[in-house]
Amino acid sequence: MTILQNDTFLRAILKQPVDRTPVWMMRQAGRYLPEYRKIREQAGSFMNLCTNPELACEVTLQPLDRYAFDAAILFSDILTIPDAMGLGLSFAEGEGPRFSNPIRSAADVDKLPIPDPEQELRYVIDAVRLIRTSLQGRVPLIGFSGSPWTLATYMVEGGSSKSFQKIKSMMYEQPGVVHRMLEKLAKSVALYLNAQIAAGAQAVMLFDTWGGMLTSEDYLEFSLHYAKLVREQLQTEADGRRVPTILFTKGGGLWLEAMVDSGYDALGLDWQTDIGVARARVGDKVALQGNMDPVSLYANPDVIRAKVQNVLERYGRGSGHVFNLGHGILPDINPEHVKAMVDAVHEFSPAYHVL
């Protein structure tokens, strides 16, 4: 077993003492890097890149060669499970994901299979194995999945949406059908994340990108309930140590107390939630991840440094904070601005961890 050289991220997630705040970034392997764009062009399509373990590994490691990030995150897509269920995923340039066989009826839901991660999703699991080996213990590897609710939105809408009219209409008119779909997705997500853990992922994150578009009542019933079901099924011990779990609901600041009770070790915060207020609300029950505004990385490095200081100051002293953006980095950010953010976290955060 390779010794982990930098476990600051894992210790912070578990609220153990650290000497500085760890930092990584959602979508840190992506289009803002010229070296990523080069590989993406060689691959020919986004799906070709996702389904090639060697290329996915190379892309995952690229940001670690540029920046002093404290974690790597698997390069993949949140929609791999619906694709493995037979919905026919494709990506049109500039239009986002599309499914050729969206869910339209109870019969469609009943036909959905539960994918075997080592079969239909083998390319992801092989990528996890290869990345973990290639990291050679530099930093931990984060695995991830879309949440059941977020996956369901894409599966019913057939792609991205602004109003979510199709999925919400089905939810209101045929709640039992939606619940059956979410039950299948919760089982599929848990199997998928457990396979990633078995293959070498040292932490896992559930991306609930669209939970925040629900009412409070519907969020608890259709999103958080199934995120909790996923958590209950996860195997959170591997290599003799705990595998931390993170739940991120974009727009979920209203429901932090309920999210705490779902069993995850950490909650991701978007940029609209004050991290100091959030810490006061959750107490010592969970760690917090976030939450600088991704758009602030367009600003000059002096402004970026000030924004980093503000997030650190708002969280305050002690462990339990993983510095991150409040959502994924935008594709046309200057890579040097990312360096300014990472360097500022390393420079300013030790003052908040002096014993």
Cα-based distances in Å from 342 to 21, 43, 66, 219 = 10, 29, 11, 34
The H or E element that residue 202 is part of is none
Catalytic residue among 36, 154, 219, 226: 154
Asked if 77 is an active-site residue, the reply is yes
Q: How far apart are CA 353 and CA 355, in angstroms?
A: 6
Contact in structure between 118 and 125 (CB atoms under 8 Å) = yes
Query: Is 209 annotated for ligand binding?
Result: yes
**Catalytic residue selected from 7, 70, 77, 265:** 77
Question: Is 77 one of the annotated binding-site residues?
Answer: yes
- Residue 334 in 3-state DSSP? coil
Q: Is 327 annotated as a binding residue?
A: yes
Catalytic, 40? Answer yes
Which of 20, 40, 231, 279 is catalytic? The answer is 40
**What are the DSSP calls for 257-311, one per residue?**
HHHHTTT-SEEE--TTS-HHHHHHHHTTSSEEEEEE-GGGGGS-HHHHHHHHHHH
3-state per-residue secondary structure call for 26-66: CCCCCCCCHHHHHHHHHHCCHHHHHCCHHHHHHHHHHHHHH
Q: Answer yes or no: is 174 a known binding residue.
A: no
Catalytic residue at 31?
yes
Is position 154 annotated in a ligand binding site? yes
Find out whether 31 is annotated in a ligand binding site: yes
CA distance linking residue 91 with residue 295, whole number of Å: 25
Please tell me whether 302 is known to bind a ligand.
Answer: no
Among the listed residues 7, 11, 20, 27, the single catalytic one is 27
Active site residues: 27, 31, 40, 77, 154
Annotated binding site: 27-31, 77, 154, 209, 327
Binding-site residues from annotation for substrate = 27-31, 77, 154, 209, 327
